[in-house]
Structure 1
């Protein structure tokens, strides 16, 4: 008899669980709890002249920031900044013109400088070599692949150049489908691109904003991740395995976008937000503000909508 009662109770529990699951499935998506990103400003770093790009050195636990300067020859630099927002050295790499994107390895720092890809010693800041080619117009962001190849976008030429480990520097891809690439991010067999957009629209005058793109590294096939243009895009960073964080220079928006092109606005900080940085393990978002001569450091936190 006891065994029979146990079977009845067990059957009732299973039925109740199935009913709860069906009831949950009936709840409209708009009524289900959604997770959104909230931001909290931690540090506002001033005095960084036309700050453009940020990269994190986990070995030294510091940030490198490219400073365009006042657009005089040689007044650009790469600065070092602590995670607590303290400026350490504004002239760690000096003598640059208008530096923009930065990428690092264990022993080298690479920064784009108008028509040159500058290679510097990451321990001393001394410039080792400069790489350039005839026809380069406006080098922008820098990304490094696992094999050591350094990629740099040329926004004006709608190109991406590659510096191989043997020192060979050449154009890797040129296409209007790149929509004048700005930000670059190498992830496995793909290069993700934050596109500035077409310099001249179909009417010969109107400027068109850019898409978030994906380039297959083997086939060089270019596909759109975003469903619509999102603005004059600049930086791109990994948020998690399914999402990226991107910035729009002109609108000042920071957005989260997933692999299917769904976009969520995170925050808006103002025009001229540049090549951003996100450190997932610390949940820190660093935003270089070009016209404001600032670096803003935020903490991101997920919460229910």
Structure 2
């Protein structure tokens, strides 16, 4: 046999194996418990957060549309129908780098670098802007049944609260390292920090590690079945019961697709994932 031809064939075979292996490694992991339901076209602009409005059956999406810490006036809110079709791409404009959102009746609140912006979902207009003096990088928002609006300061280990039009510091603690995802659930506030979910008593005085070894947390929700679901921005989504071990639901990191501030539609078991640099929202049903 011609050694040159033999070597060429072997080389081609080796390269083919590498190509196939590389292609396989680019696949996302989707848990058997997840089924992809729909995805938007890639027309969003750095979507950071999603929020489902139960009363109006629509989905709000915050679009950074630029540098997450730059006051460039490019940010906006999109409104989607619950089937993922886009109702209004640039529904509310005049923002900088909007991120986490919360809803109190018809008032939509969004964090925007160093202020909380209040909007009316009926008119689609900005009503108020509440500066948060001394804040460094406001991120997620959660609203409780008492109409308090909590916002995390990711770079300063703090949580602020907006009540009756006034902003104050609610909690400052070294345990809030990298605090991002917030959840107001039942009587407590839950906060995603570096590698843990914290349970914080209603008065902010008691902090307990609720879930361990989580990695960083961007979005934090509950599934109505006793589990917490959380994303880590890079592309992972996990679920865990209190004090339980996180179980992977989704990994889109091989596709370089992020999983930013998620939401969960409780009565339909639908997980909503904003993909940030991928410029889409993807919906999955969960068993």
TM-score range, shorter chain: 0.7 to 0.9
- Deviation for aligned residue 1:261: 2.7
Give the equivalent residue in structure 1 for 2:18. none
- Deviation for aligned residue 1:219: 4.9
Give the equivalent residue in structure 2 for 1:40. 35
Say whether residues 1:137 and 2:123 are aligned partners.
Answer: no
Say whether residues 1:235 and 2:219 are aligned partners.
Answer: yes
Structure-2-length-normalised TM-score? 0.83
Say whether residues 1:246 and 2:230 are aligned partners.
Answer: yes
Give the equivalent residue in structure 1 for 2:62. 66
Deviations 1:130-164 (A, max 9, x none): 11132111111111111111111110111100001
Preserved CA contact (<8 Å) 2:100 2:261: yes
After superposition, the Cα gap between the structure-2 partners of 1:189 and 1:78, relative to the gap in structure 1 and judged at 3 Å, is same
Structure 1 segment 236-275 matched on structure 2, within 5 A: 236-250=220-234, 252-270=235-253, 271-275=257-261
Preserved CA contact (<8 Å) 1:37 1:300: no
- Deviation for aligned residue 1:241: 4.3
The CA distance in 2 between the partners of 1:62 and 1:218, in whole Å, is 32
Give the equivalent residue in structure 2 for 1:171. 169
- Deviation for aligned residue 1:37: 6.0
Give the equivalent residue in structure 1 for 2:118. 119
RMSD in angstroms over aligned alpha carbons? 1.5
- Deviation for aligned residue 1:212: 1.3
Q: Which runs of 5+ in 2 are unaligned?
A: 1-30
For the residue of structure 2 that corresponds to 1:226, the secondary structure is strand
Give the equivalent residue in structure 2 for 1:102. 101
- Deviation for aligned residue 1:92: 1.5
Moved more, 100-109 or 70-79: 70-79
For the residue of structure 2 that corresponds to 1:291, the secondary structure is helix
Give the equivalent residue in structure 2 for 1:158. 157
Deviations 1:100-157 (A, max 9, x none): 0011122210000000100011111211111113211111111111111111111011
Give the equivalent residue in structure 2 for 1:148. 147
Give the equivalent residue in structure 2 for 1:279. 265
Preserved CA contact (<8 Å) 1:158 1:180: yes
Give the equivalent residue in structure 1 for 2:210. 225
For the residue of structure 1 that corresponds to 2:128, the secondary structure is strand
Give the equivalent residue in structure 2 for 1:182. 180
Give the equivalent residue in structure 2 for 1:50. 46
- Deviation for aligned residue 1:269: 2.2
If you compute each CA radius of gyration, which structure gives the higher value, 1 or 2? 1
Preserved CA contact (<8 Å) 2:170 2:204: no
Q: Would you identify which runs of 4 or more consecutive aligned residues in structure 1 move more than 3 Å?
A: none
How many residues align? The count is 250
Deviations 1:156-200 (A, max 9, x none): 111100001x222111111110122101001122111111x2xxx
Preserved CA contact (<8 Å) 2:62 2:99: yes
The CA distance in 1 between the partners of 2:169 and 2:145, in whole Å, is 19
